[in-house]
Structure 1
Amino acid sequence: MGEAQRQLDEVRESATVVVVGAGPAGLTVAALLRRCGVDCVVLERRSREHVAQRQRAGIVEARAVRMFESWGLADLVLDGPPHDGILEFRVDGVSHLVDDSGGGEGPGARLCPQQVLVQRLTAAHLADGGDLRYEAADVSLHDLTGERPVVRYRSADGTPHAITCAFVAGCDGDHGVTRSAVPGGHLTAHTFDHGIGWLTVLADAPPPAHPLLAVSAQGFAAHFPRGPHSSRYYLQCPPGDLPGAWPDHRVWDALRTRLGDPGLAAGPVTDRETFRLRSLVTDPMQYGRLFLVGDAAHILSPMGGKGMNLALYDADLLARAVRDHVRDGDDTSLRTYSERCLRRVWSDQEFSHWLTRTVHDAGDSTHCGPFLHRLARARLDRLFTSPAAVGAFAELMAGLDPAQERPASTGR
């Protein structure tokens, strides 16, 4: 009786696409769909303020910059200086500069923190008349294998809504409702635990001249810019560590030691958290009329900065596939969405895994043993001395691996 009454009270709506999640993946899907003239509704369970302040990735790789340019969105949604194409490796205090730009024509990567990208995507979407609904509670998906799925939710004032749609874009992350809405047995989760913990620290402290990865016997550390006056730092730590085990003095002492910079300037710590490095690939990335995008489908080690950029790649493929269906009645790209996404997912997973093992095994050898430690040192030596190795590394960092498909004309 309660369910029947709830359905009687529902506000019934319709849309071509319902996008669940308003992070980089969901907002990019929505922005591209509107560029195609496809209507969509974006549902986000958190408040706008919460979403706008989430701190994650900091570099939009060259492939993603070129994707935004192809849609005419780069000037609207990307903010921050161009990445100069130089990545610093500091091994036992000795600096090695590596060109990670990937070469080729067109713009390179941009130093654009995730929260800035989200804020600008949000503003552009709303200015374009987009339908973006925050604090959407109790989101549930129904009839995903039918012709017209239904997405139900409660708005902030408690009103129940039911949106009938043609497609659902699941962009709500690793712990969202969309992937869990798929019945058991239809998706396979490939998982890997790297056995490595990281402490991540955001601080109001001067950024480095170049993104910096440091290898030492005391463990891995990294220093990345997050704006003109702020930095994000990473420190390898035991997988079970809690943030409270790392007070400010311990953080700065460890950073100065591992970065080989005794004079490293400290600053107020504004955020810190610990997490365990892990990887996940969901196969396939679609079920019926539900298409998983970004972290809802795959999680990568942060090494290489592929997480957000891979989500942008998924969003681009999905928007083009929906456009082809709506405009031309062509479902080819919808049917092959998962296959095309997963090709790049596994490529990026391999690169991220390679870089993760290299910088950690080359440092503190207690967890890997002397054999793997020396292999990792050999890989670094090759990267620092071989132009061919640098070229392959740069292509993968830039997201321009020629074995992968490149963005085509939007055909708008």
Structure 2
Amino acid sequence: MALVRSIRAQILESDLFDLNLKYLTIVGLWPKDGWSGDVLRLYKFYEASLFILSFTFIVISGIGTYNKKDDIIMLMTNLDKALVAYNFVSKIILFTLKREQLNTLISEIKLSGDKVINERKNLMALHVIVITGFSTVIVSAFSLLSQYKREMTIEAWMPFDPLKNRMNLLLSAQLLAVCFIVPILYRAFAIQGIVCSIIMYFCDQLIELQDHLKDFDYSEERDMEVRQEFKGIVKKHVRIMRYARTLTNIFKEYFLIQNLAVTIELCLNALMVAVIGFEQKTLLATFVGYLGLALINAYIYCYLGNELIVQSTGIAKAAYESSWTSWPIDMQKDLLIVINVAQKPLTISAGGMAVMCIETYSQALYNAYSIFAVLSDMVD
């Protein structure tokens, strides 16, 4: 309990996104400004080493998958597990390429002076901790199950026979864990943490703007002061819109990969269930476990994207519900512009092909069920 209270106190005292940026730094994705040349070179070596380990995992798992090409069930099982790594590594590469742009955006946000309530800081930290812990438990559980059944966690090439004895099997599991846990899994969730936290920040600031508009009251005695206050509201609204569009431009390919990975995962699971049926419960449990992890990740993004849409369009409603009838004509005209602009929601785009929202998530589930129904009829 003392440790929990200490962590909570550090979160409340920290600046915006500090916990997320520390997580990114720990997993080799966020070198800090001001580091000396030697420290920076050492960190670059650490970052490169993690990339080498992640690519090693992709190569050896790819060879293992190819070696099982004649066994359709094992092939699909391995593809299902390897798909997680391919998805995560692709997003890690994209994040690294866009890191400088994101750093610029975060710097602008920090310099803006915007504040986030303590409850939201707790939620940002809780999201990162829970999703990391949950994914670790899922992966560890299936690894232990594989050890119990004397099987490989994922079919992968090894310079020795992993099934020769228990020691070899344990060593292969450790090598796979070294190549996957930190270089792929934790790095992917560190990225997810900062992306989700930024979207939460957008939603918080939009809610704050709605409250300001609803409570905004014009007074002739305070004409200049009131006009400056209204100007500040408009400026902040424009700034948040610019931030949101910048985030979308940075991560549109990232969200496209996310959507494609979930779609492939759903199709693969539908095909697997249609082929093997419900008799092989252990194998199905593996599929359901990894599918659940993919669906939770997809839901988090879609929920936050939907919340951004709701709160950005809420600006128009809040502006209309303000006491605008008593305002001067010129301010009413300015407010009308705000309403017109706010009626077009801020969205998180997946490569321009889809919008991250609950409707997109529901459509993906519906499509997966349709595919399963068709495949099930074909097998029967």
Normalising by the smaller structure, the TM-score range is: under 0.3
The alignment's TM-score, normalised by the length of structure 1, stands at 0.24
Structure with higher helix content: 2
Q: Which has the greater radius of gyration?
A: 2
Q: Which has the higher strand share?
A: 1
Structure 2 length-normalised TM: 0.25
